[in-house]
Amino acid sequence: MTPMPTLRAAAEIPVSRRPAPPTWVVVALACAGQFLVVLDVSVVNTALPSMRADLGLSAPGLQWVVNAYTIAFAGFMLLGGRAGDLYGRKRMFLIGLALFPLASL
C-alpha cells in the first residue's frame, strides 16, 4: 500500500517573487501602443497629398502606399504573435512598444 499524496495548503504554495504591476500601468501601456498605431496610420494619410504632388502618383498609386503599410504591419503582427508565443507576450509587447517608434522614423 502506497501513501496517498497530501494536498498542500494555500499558504505553503510559493508565490511569485515580483508583485503584479498596478492595473493603471498595464492600461497605460496598452493605450500607448494603440496610440502609436493610430498615429502612424494618420501620418501616412497626412503625407498622401504631398506624395501625390511630389511623386506624381495616381489614385491607385496612393492606395498602394496605404496598402503597403498595412501589409507590412500585418506581416510583423504575425511575427510578433509567434515571438510572443515563444518568448512571452509581455516581453514581446514591451519590445515592440520600444521598437515601433524607432521603425516609424
For the chain, give the mean pLDDT.
83
Q: How confident is the model at residue 61 (pLDDT cuts 50, 70, 90)?
A: very high
Note the pLDDT of residue 16: 63
Note the pLDDT of residue 37: 81
In a domain, 91, yes or no: yes
What gap in Å lies between CA 92 and CA 79, rounded to an integer? 10
Judge contact between 45 and 66, C-beta under 8 A.
yes
3-state class of 68 per DSSP? Answer: helix
In a domain, 74, yes or no: yes
In a domain, 27, yes or no: yes
Judge contact between 36 and 104, C-beta under 8 A.
yes
pLDDT higher at 50 or 42 = 50
In a domain, 6, yes or no: no
Range of the domain at 78: 23-104
Residue with cell string 498615429? 39
In a domain, 72, yes or no: yes
Judge contact between 51 and 69, C-beta under 8 A.
no
Grid coordinates given for 74: 500585418
What gap in Å lies between CA 6 and CA 8, rounded to an integer? 6
Asked if the model's pLDDT at residue 82 lies above 90, the reply is yes
Count: domains in the chain? 1
CA atoms within 13 A on the CB side of 15: 7
In a domain, 10, yes or no: no
Asked if the model's pLDDT at residue 62 lies above 80, the reply is yes
Note the pLDDT of residue 8: 57
- pTM score, whole prediction: 0.57
CA atoms within 13 A on the CB side of 62: 16
pLDDT higher at 73 or 58 = 58
